[in-house]
Each structure stands twice: as C-alpha cells, then as structure tokens.
Amino acid sequence: SSVWTARRHLALARAHLPKLRQDRGATQLLDGLAARIDAAPAGQAAPVPAAQLLEWVNARGDDVVRNPEREAQWLLQAVAECPDDAELVDTTASALSACAADEEAIALLWSFVQRHADRETSATFRLINLLLARGDEAGVRRLVQLYRPQVPVAALWCEAQLAQRLADWPALEQACTALLELSPGSHGARGLLARMYLNTGRFAEAAAVYRQLTELLEEPRSAHWDHMTAASAAQDWDAVRASAQAIGMELSSTSGVVEETWGWVIIRCVDDGEVAEYYARRTGPVTARIVENAPAHQRQHVGDWVVFDAELLYPPPEDKAERERFVPTYAQVYVLQAGGYANSWLVDGVHPGEEAIDSLREDIEARGWKLWLHSRDDYRLINPEDPDGFDPEVAGSGLPGVLFTVALPEAAAPLELHRALLAATAQWPHPMCWLRLAQACGQDPQPHLDAVDRYGL
C-alpha cells in the first residue's frame, strides 16, 4: 500500500476526531501513525520518467496484476512534473476515483481547468461527471461561469448536463439549442435534446432530431433505431420505413401502418415505480402487442400496442442452446393504443387436463376475453386423499395444479366471468377457486375457501 494512501486515510481519521465524545488516546494514536508515515520510505519509484508514464500505464495488458494505489501515486508524481498535460491529469483523476479518492480527483481537476479556462479538455468532462455524481449543483454552476467568457460551448454543455440531472426540461432545451447554434456538429447535444423530446412525449420533434443524426453520424445505425422509436410513437410510418430500409430490415407492407407478425419479445412496463415484464408479440421494428395478463393486483397491460426502446435490457446468453431460447426484453416507451382490459381475475386449482383448458380458452377468447396460464409444469397441489404424503420438493408429489388469470374488457361485468367459469368447470374432476372474483360479485365464497383448505392453494 502506498504512503499516499496512508496519508489520505490519516487525514480522514483526523477529521473525525472532533466528533468523539472522549479522546481515549485517539489523538496520540494518530500522532504515532503520522510519525511512522513520515518516516516511511517514499515507496517504489515510477518505472519510467514522468513524460512517458501515461504511455506506460496505457500499454499495460489485462493479464498484468496491477496496484491501483501505487499507480495513482506514480501518476500524481508525474502530474507534479507535468501539471499542464490534460490527458495525464484526466488519467490521474480517473485513477484517484478508482481508489475512492474523489475529493482529491476533483481538487486536481479544478486546479487544471482554472489554469486552462480558455479551452475544453477531457478534464472538463471528467470534472462535470464527478460533480454531477456528487449532486454538486453549485460546483457545476461554478464551472459554467468559468467557461462562459471564453468557451461558451463548454459552458452550455455543463448547463445541459445539469438540467438533465435536475429534470429541468425547458433549461435543457434552451442550453442544447443554444449550443447547437454555436456548434452545429455537437452530436452529443443533439442526442441529449432528442432523448429529452422522446422522454417528454414530444415524439415528432424527437424523430426530427434523430433523423438529423442519421444523416450526420458516420455510424448511424443506432440513430436509425432511435429514429424508428420516435417515429413509431409519432405514428409517422413512412419515416419508420425509411430507417428500416436504411439498416436492411424488410417489412411486409410498403405503406400505411407498420403491423408485422414477428416473434416473441418481453416488454418492461413501469407503473408508479413498480417494474413488471410481460410477453408480447412483436409487430414492427420497435412496436409490440402485449399478450400476457397482468397479475391480479397490478395495472392491466394486456392488449396494449406499445412502442419500445430498441436497446436490449439483458444481453443474449453466450451458450448457444440458451441463446436459441432467449426472448429479448425491451423497455416500453409509449402506449400507441390501450388494450382496454380491466384488472385480471385469478383462478387456481387442480389441473383438469389440457383438453379441458383448451376448451375453456376457446370459450374465453370467443367472448373477447383474455386467458393466460401463469403456472409452471411443476406446480403441484395437495391430494386430499393423501394430504400427509404431499411434499412440494418432491417431483410428482400430490396433484398437478394450474393457475391462470382472465382479463375482461373494461365494460364487461365480473359476474359474466363468474357464471362462465361455473358452467365451464362444472364437469371438471376437482373444484376450482376464484375467491376474489366471487367476493366481488357478491357470490358465496365458501366453496372457494373450501378449495383453498382442501388443496393447499
């Protein structure tokens, strides 16, 4: 461990001395440690001269065992000799942060940018990121004032970053627009502006900015995907087709609404901070229709036609066999058309057999309702004829169970479902349970409570 690290921790310990109710020898202990640190050798000398250290550090491979604290101390020594080397200062600040020394990193960066307020460097962006990570709004505003006279583009970028952190969308739009007037080639500002438009529901404006990026970027593929997301939300299907064609994606139609019949995806929805993921059928480059019922206690999304962000939330597995079963998950951006279904009703009980379930599904779907099986193949319930012999950890124990939900259109009365389930399950070998539905309809809950006790639902 380096002497620099020891001094840093000693200073941290001394800062806590005034907080002690009783000293109990703490000051004397720290004084003794300070003397030992002062007497310690300076540590291993840097392997190369200061002017060559950055190149030496960058050339080290991943297979080399590294000592971050020792490298940070070497870099600090190099910065002392070459204080105006922007790349060296930036790398040193990064090394300090890796050693949990953000205070020292920020102090180093401030020292540099104050001496070089006539130009933006990598140190500028390192500093603003550290300040934002710490929630130091005053520090960012101070940086804005530092750059405004000589490098207004850097000042505006700082303002835009702060506005994004504060979710101050008018300020972000103002800063990005002003920045682009001064520096039309600032793709970062253009991307920030487009994302803000997308996140705040200004889809046509987002699509227009993303279209600009597709024309300006050397590698526009990612921008085309973002453009399709914004254009789909704006229902500008001609624009969707243009970007799809640009990245080599074939669509079955040449005009009108893009409505494909593609494979499975999973859509992540966020309701009041709660995250839920549902199976859906992909209907276009970045659109899908949700087909899985929500759990009984959550907001309904089945039937929703949604736009999603094209960035995968989970990477595909490396294993080939697992990759073949992989279903991509995407974040919902916007609901193009709500499914119009009310909350789900839960039905639980002994599995009546595939033929009975298929017959029930046909009846449910013919009524315009939605049925979704939630239970896995290994779902087991107590066999009333041998309740003591049931062990949920033993495969094949008890009776096979089934758990499903039914979602009704918002205008349908729950009593309709209650009656339909009574008729459909009357000949099943075991009674099913839909307790919450029965209670909501004012029906006798006892048969359902009996099923709960009898089968361990």
| pLDDT surpasses 70 at 41 | no
Do 216 and 200 belong to one domain? Answer: yes
Average pLDDT, the chain: 91
pLDDT band at 7, cuts 50/70/90? confident
The reported pLDDT for the residue numbered 42 is 61
One domain, residues 331 and 356: no
Alpha helices in 150-220 (DSSP H): 152-166, 169-182, 187-199, 203-216
- Give just the sign of the alpha carbon dihedral 115, 117, 120, 123: positive
Do 345 and 451 fall within a single domain? yes
pLDDT for the residue 178:
97
Q: Residue 193 falls within a domain, yes or no?
A: yes
Residue 129 in any domain: the answer is no
Pair 376, 297 in one domain = no
Beta bridge partners, 332, equal 308
Phi-psi region of 338 (alpha: psi -120 to 50; beta: other; left: phi over 0): beta
Of 95-99, 158-162, 255-259, 420-424, the range with the lowest mean pLDDT is 95-99
Please say if the pLDDT value at position 62 is more than 70.
no
- 350 and 320, same structural domain? no
pLDDT at 67 over 60: yes
SS3 category, 457: coil
427 occurs within a structural domain? yes
Whether 224 maps to a domain, the answer reads: yes
* Phi and psi at residue 331, to the nearest 5°: -90, 130
The CATH number linked to 368 is: 3.30.70
Angstrom distance (rounded) from CA 313 to CA 329: 6
Q: Is residue 17 part of a domain?
A: yes
Range name among 255-269, 365-379, 383-397, 430-444 with the lowest pLDDT average: 383-397
Which pLDDT does position 77 carry in this prediction? 86
Given 231, 258, 285, which residue is the final one in a domain? 258
Among 305, 320, 335, identify where a domain stops. Answer: 335
* Enclosing domain of residue 277: 264-335
- Positive or negative torsion for Cα 204, 210, 216, 219: negative
* H or E stretch at 329: strand 329-337
Whether 233 contacts 336, CB under 8 Å: yes
Q: Does the residue 51 lie in any domain?
A: no
Residues 401-410: pLDDT tens digits?
A: 999 999 999 9
Mean pLDDT throughout 341-349?
A: 96
Give the predicted TM-score (pTM) of the model: 0.84
Q: How high is the pLDDT of residue 22? A: 81
* 63 assigned to some structural domain: no
Three-class DSSP category at 150: coil
Q: Can you give the C-alpha Rg of the chain in angstroms?
A: 31
User: φ and ψ at 92, to 5 degrees?
Assistant: -65, -45
Tell me what pLDDT residue 13 has: 79
Number of domains into which the chain is organized = 4
Quick one: which of 75, 83, 38 has its CA closest to 57?
75
Boundary of a domain, candidates 216, 238, 258: 258
CA dihedral sign, ordered 383, 386, 387, 393: negative
Assign 134 to helix, strand or coil. coil
Span 348-374, average pLDDT: 96
pLDDT tens-digit map of 130-167:
999 999 999 999 999 999 999 999 999 999 999 999 99
> What letter does residue 433 receive in the DSSP assignment?
B
Instruction: Band the pLDDT of 56: cuts 50, 70, 90.
Output: confident
Cα angle 356-293-410, degrees, rounded to a multiple of 5: 100
Let me know if residue 363 belongs to a domain: yes
Residue 85: closest CA among 129, 49, 122: 122
